[in-house]
Amino acid sequence: MILDTDGLKPIYIQIAEWLESEILHGNFQADEKVYSQYKLADLYNINPATAAKGLTKLAEEGILYDKRGLGKFVSTNAKQIIVDKRKNQTLRNLVNDLVTEAGRLELSEEDTIKLVRDAWKGEQG
């Protein structure tokens, strides 16, 4: 991952989203230890406090949990939490944007749904 230090998204959010993606892709399993704030800081050349903020965010969401003195570990239901969060936030926002733009272009509901179906078929093929 390459951090976007010039973008609008805070670095700690980028770190948290990267760890979420790693969990979704199976690179970190349930009850497996994730990188420490110092390892993340070293990997991405960032302040350890910034890395810690990303880890804390995931812990607050129930994606990670602490083992005192050992670090942060992936929660048993981390994948489902991430899927639900992304479905309810990211995808909902994208769909709302799509529907808004389709309305501006005066596309029918049927045409808009066809665009989604065609895109889905392209992804599956």
Question: pLDDT tens-digit profile of 89-110?
Answer: 888 899 999 999 999 999 999 9
Place of tokens 């179906």: 117
User: Span 11-76: which CATH code?
Assistant: 1.10.10.10
Residue with the bigger pLDDT between 121 and 49: it is: 49
- Which pLDDT score is estimated for 2? 79
Element (H, E) at 67: strand 64-67
- Which pLDDT score is estimated for 43? 94
Question: pLDDT tens-digit profile of 28-71?
Answer: 999 999 999 999 999 999 999 999 999 999 999 999 999 999 99
Helix (H, G, I), strand (E, B) or coil at 71: strand
Query: What residues are paired with 33 via a beta bridge?
Result: 73
Q: Where in the chain is the domain with CATH 1.10.10.10?
A: 11-76
Query: What residues are paired with 72 via a beta bridge?
Result: 66
Please tell me the distance from the alpha carbon of residue 61 to that of residue 118, in angstroms, as a whole number: 34
